[in-house]
Amino acid sequence: MSTLGVVVTCLISTLVCDSQALGIFQPKYPVEAVEGSNAILYCSMQPRTSWDLVRWYKGEGSQRTHILSRLPKAGDRNDARVKWSEKNLGIEFTIIIEGVKINDTGKYYCIKYKDGKGDTIEKEGPGVTLTVKANVIIIGPPGRVKVGKVVELLCEAHNNNKVVTLMWLKNGKAIPQDHFTIANTGTRHTSNLTLQTEKGDIRSVVQCVQGKNEEQKMSEVFDLSSVITVMPRLQIQGSPDTRNSLLGKYSCRVDGFYPEDILVSWALGRLKIPACCEKAHGNIDGTFSTTCYITIALAKISSRAALQCHAGYHAHC
């Protein structure tokens, strides 16, 4: 288990803390913790308060869950991973959540009740948001790569062991070890994956796995669709305008591209002309298609000024 922790220090002032509920102070800014570490959620009260009157809850309304108290109400249970910090007794009611999990993410409220029965709230803190990040994360490239090119992904894990086992999965199946490297530096462990992309990767996902058997920890699913680009096929068709023989109507069929926000334009020689396109529609393979149109004087089209259709993305135009 990682011993990484989050320590939150809150000066009791309007610059650092929110005091929507008078006399109860909780951090104004969110607390972040890495999965498996300990998270500290600060709460203090003025004047001095009995421990029997204070309870911690997660969430709001019907989703509110009891976390910790000295005298839990009937039906409530203390979370075995949560304990009091026991500093500045009667003033601080800070709690420590040990070995935080992803689903611990949420907003936590420090509440004072009028009596030990816990039926009537006297004061409620503004709440503090806890965000738990995965112990194993995948970092993608800064931009997209064209299908057929290689994409590089980085897996980062934190563990107190000097050496850990890392592996990669694509669509649930193990990726051969010759596709990635592993490096261990203190508590930080990384793996670089080199993956040849293909069109079908629009629907593919990868995961990084730390450890083996019951000690395995998996990253969140990483969608390859977020880092690949599929370039389209273009086809121009033209015909005279039936209402004016001096004009020509042309269409540019743009097929099989991804992502959807493609840029399409016409070019007549060195002159660029904005395209008027239909709304793109999805294809079975996950790509998109659209058709763009232009009406132009036939006399302007010549061997020196051929009409062309261009399609691409900001990085490829």
* Rg of the chain (C-alpha set): 30
Q: What is the pLDDT of residue 243?
A: 67
186: pLDDT strictly greater than 90: no
pLDDT-based confidence at residue 23 (cuts at 50, 70, 90): confident
pLDDT (mean) for 20-46: 85
Count of residues for the chain? 317
pLDDT-based confidence at residue 241 (cuts at 50, 70, 90): low
Beta-carbon neighbour count of residue 227 at 10 Å? 19
Least Cα distance to 118 among 53, 65, 61, 64 occurs for 53
Per-residue pLDDT tens digits for 290-310: 999 988 887 777 666 778 899
Domains and CATH numbers, the chain: 5-133 (2.60.40.10), 136-229 (2.60.40.10), 233-312 (2.60.40.10)
Least Cα distance to 181 among 170, 196, 171, 195 occurs for 195
- Give the whole-angstrom CA distance, residue 308 versus residue 298: 14
180: pLDDT strictly greater than 70: yes
Q: What is the pLDDT of residue 173?
A: 94
Q: What is the pLDDT of residue 315?
A: 57
Per-residue pLDDT tens digits for 81-113: 999 998 888 889 999 999 898 889 999 999 999
- Residue 94 sits at the vertex; the CA angle it makes with 91 and 100, to the nearest 5 degrees, is 175
> Average per-residue pLDDT in the chain?
84
